[in-house]
Each structure stands twice: as structure tokens, then as C-alpha cells.
Structure 1
Amino acid sequence: MQSKKQNKAIQGNTRQFKAIQGNTRQFKAIQGNTRQFKAIQGNSRQFKAIQGNSRQFKAVQGSSRQFKAIQGNSRQYRAIQGNSRGSNTYLL
């Protein structure tokens, strides 16, 4: 019985080899049908952070409050560009 189970894994009748053919959740991650590989294609919340659709990566593109301070959209950096009350005194 053990030899039959091992050979089925080679022919693709067990869950181990189906992962190679794309019938299990492990290999679907390579084809983009699971949530793990969708993160590479940009369909999950993990990879959306790289494309700028999540709150973590928006901070890099300037859509969150942390990175807006670098681009001049928050009150901290506006003082450097002259858009806050502190720096308007220097421009006047």
C-alpha cells in the first residue's frame, strides 16, 4: 500500500503532486489563484502596499500622514515650505 501511495504522488493523484500541477492551494499560489500569489500580482493587501493601495505603502508615495510630512502636505513640513504659521513669519 505504501508503494501505491508513493506512485500516485508521481502521477498526480495525491495532494503532494497536485501542488505541482496546480490543483492544490500550494501550487495555485504560483499560478495566482491563492491569496499568497495574488500578493505578487497586486490582488491581496500585502502587495497592494507595494503598488500604493494599502496604508503602509501610501506613506511612501505621500498618501499617509507620515510621508506627507516629507512632501509638504502635513503641518510639520509646511513650516519648511512656508505654508504653516511658523514659516509665514519668515516669508513676510
Structure 2
Amino acid sequence: MPVYEVFTTAFHALDMMWLDIHGLDDNSMQWRYHQYWSGVPSRDVFQGSGGVPRPPLYEILMPLPVRIGQIVATIELRTSGDT
């Protein structure tokens, strides 16, 4: 998968870990949505398997217009069947 350089005048880094909302009540969900949209990093708040902290999982949102530049890298995506 190619990775492109992107040029923009602004961006927002939002931590998608806050959106893992399974089994939460409405108040907890609203608080997590607020944390997400405020750009607050989860900073290892969430536990993965074996109690190991999970780091933030960022997505970057950019308002238009943006300019897409050259390919700067290529990454190989793993599928669930890969070892």
C-alpha cells in the first residue's frame, strides 16, 4: 500500500481508542466522544490482552483543501491468515 505525502494548512490528530464503546452506558459514551473530539490522547488508558496497556491509535483529519504529493513509502498489510 503506498503512503503519500500530504500538504495542508491544518490537521487534527484524534485517538480512535476512545471510540471502543462496547458495553458502556450513555454517560460513559458521551464522555469518550468528548475526549475523542477534543483530541485528548488515551495515554495507555485501555488494556489489551493480558492487561498490557494499548497505546493511542491516531487518525488524522484534515480540512479541505489538501494537496497530495509523491509516494514516500510503501507498506505491506498483513491479513489475519499471515504469520
> TM range, normalised to the smaller chain?
under 0.3
Higher strand share: 2
State TM-score, norm by structure 2. Answer: 0.20
Bigger Cα Rg:
1
Structure scoring higher RCO (CA < 8 A, sep ≥ 6) equals 2
Higher helix share: 1
